Chain A
Amino acid sequence: MANTFKTDPIEFKPAAAQPAPSSTVGPVAWIKENLFSSIPNSVVTILVILGLLNVVPGVIDWMFISSTWSGASQDACVSDGACWVFIQAWSQQFFYGSYPSDGLWRVNLSLILLFVVIVLSFTLPANIRLKVSVPLFLVLPFVCIAILDGRLVGLDYVNTDFWGGFSLNVLMAAAAIIVAFPFSFLWALGRRSDMPLARSISVVFIEFFRGVPVLALFFMGSVMLPLFFAEGTNVDKLVRVWIVLIFFMSGYMAEVFRGGFQAIPSGQYEAADSIGLGYWQKTLLIILPQVIKVSMPNILATFVMLFKNTVFLLIIGIPEVLQTLLTALSNSNWLGGHAVEGYVFVGVIFWLCCFGMSMLASSIEKKLDTSHRN
């Protein structure tokens, strides 16, 4: 057998690579392939272009060209375009609600802390990433509350009635998802558990908070929750809403995590078992890090959903950004009908944040693609 290969070796030279045919690369080929590949496709392309030509110039004109950008009051807005003066004049309220002007740095500091922790959780070296970022995330909501509230850290006390604006939407969503994280992990574990009691409690909980509309939950939170507290205790409205958001979020995230658990091959559990790791060691050291990794895009998608749902807080009178906008629109100095500008503005800032998170999610997905081939 072996002898048959024993001839004098001939040196093997790989053939040189040739360029791809020019009709398949370049912008012209791309347009042909994607926009005009067939007659129906070409018709659709032309119709879409005509439609855009009809709408886009008008929008650009309204938003940028004939709009008014500077001025002190709505009297400055004399043209047909958008009156951005309105947004400018109310920008502090839109972002910070009625938080005292000399304490705005406290809101900014909270937002910066949130941003720093998020960036750290993606940029720290892989071997310490979870060990550092998980504790940071878990203390973050309470640090932010302490800074905003002020009493614990020796700053002026600011009652939660004054918290508001877009910063409240962001911080509320972040604080809710962070605290929901460990809970949802436990619910997901419970739902996969062999113990009938743990499993049924988890299923009932998850399905309740997934099945009831978030608006109904907010009403329950503001009306029903106080019934459960001892008489005389007055739990802050924001805290009650926070609790509702945490439960709502952990119901959804539990299902995200469950999906993540199912994506982990059974061999991982068996390998951990064969080494002799106990249940919690196996779950926390082997399974959880992988679950978080595969669930990251879905966690971010759930977060986007929760973030947008924070505008429903206006229903129970919390001055988040949309509520602030409604207040501004009914102000007697600004009765010129600036609703369109206001809604466009709120839409754009939400869209920017959510689009940013989607980009983050897709970049994580790409990263996963390369590092998770096993």
Chain B
Amino acid sequence: MSTESKVADNVEDTIIIKDLNKWYGDFHVLKDINLTVKKGEKIVICGPSGSGKSTTIRCINRLEEFQRGSLVVNGVEMVEDVKNIEAIRREVGMVFQHFNLFPHLTILENLTLGPIWVQKKPKAEAEAIAMKYLERVKIPEQADKFPGQLSGGQQQRVAIARSLCMAPQIMLFDEPTSALDPEMIKEVLDVMVELADEGMTMLCVTHEMGFAKKVADRVIFMDAGEIVEQNTPEELFNNPQTDRLQLFLSQILDH
């Protein structure tokens, strides 16, 4: 098999997941996940903890292996090959719950690391790109500080900018606001909404239902490793079909 085997010419479908199954040892965490994401589509994945929602999006850039099924990202099929995995990772940006900035590098260095070492851009160009995205997330003045000197909300915005510097086709968000103090959630969500408005393809695991209603084209509800329901936000929240989703919605909305 060639390293970047094109299997789909239909570029409309950016991500095609077919019958994805994953086990941790004997534990079946993902069961027959089928999901197709169109270019520019915004998808919010919700569900109780342990339902496999993070694991699903972490499979997309191969932070998690899967044992059965197939996954095509931007026309490249995920196979057991370093070159192939790196090709997919170049197209996919990811934002983590705990930011995962590199604490020994300045904000600017955090942002230029990928462009310089992966995309082999000259330093000046990488820095120009980095400053552009820092301005977009509204913290250019923090460029020379270290991550430890920033608030959680600022760190998460830097993390988003770091992913954007790689000019990804797809952005994955793994509970980006769960580790933040309440007063900082909005600044991060604002950046994400802006990004959505610009047409980025986004998969977002989050419990921010307001964000889902505002931005998502489709909301997916997962439980026990399966996709239980998927629909537009209005339909899904106002007209849940399964008792499991009804229970989940009553738990997250009644407080």
* Residues of A that sit less than 8 Å from B by CB: 127, 265, 267-268, 270-278, 281, 285-286, 289-290, 293, 371-374
Contacts and interface: CB of A to CB of B under 8 A. Distances in A.
Contact of B89 (A275, A293, A372): A275
A275 B118 contact: yes
B245 to A, nearest CB: 26
A159 to B, nearest CB: 45
Interface in B94-109: 94, 96, 98, 100-104, 106, 109
18 contacts: A270-B63, A271-B94, A274-B63, A274-B92, A275-B89, A275-B114, A275-B163, A276-B89, A276-B118, A277-B118, A285-B113, A285-B117, A290-B102, A372-B103, A372-B148, A374-B101, A374-B103, A374-B148
A289 B104 contact: yes
Given A271-B100, A281-B118, A373-B148, 8 more contacts: A271-B94, A274-B61, A274-B63, A275-B162, A275-B166, A277-B114, A371-B148, A374-B101
B146 interface: yes
B151 to A, nearest CB: 12
Contacts of A272: 102
A276 B103 contact: no
Contacts of A290: 102-104
Nearest to B109: A127
Interface of B: 61-63, 82, 86, 89-90, 92-94, 96, 98, 100-104, 106, 109, 113-114, 117-118, 146-148, 159, 162-163, 166
B86 A267 contact: no
Contacts of A289: 104
A130 B97 CA distance: 30
A267 B100 contact: yes
Given A127-B106, A276-B166, A271 B101 contact: yes
B99 to A, nearest CB: 8
A277 B94 CA distance: 13
A267 B86 CA distance: 18
A272 B104 CA distance: 13
Contacts of B82: 278
A276 B63 CA distance: 11
A270 B100 contact: yes
B104 A293 contact: yes
B101 A277 contact: no
Contacts of B101: 271, 374
B93, B102, B113 — most chain A CB neighbours (10 Å):
B102
A131 B146 CA distance: 18
Nearest to B106: A127
Contacts of A277: 113-114, 117-118
B89 A270 contact: no
Contact of B86 (A265, A270, A276, A285): A276
Nearest to B118: A276
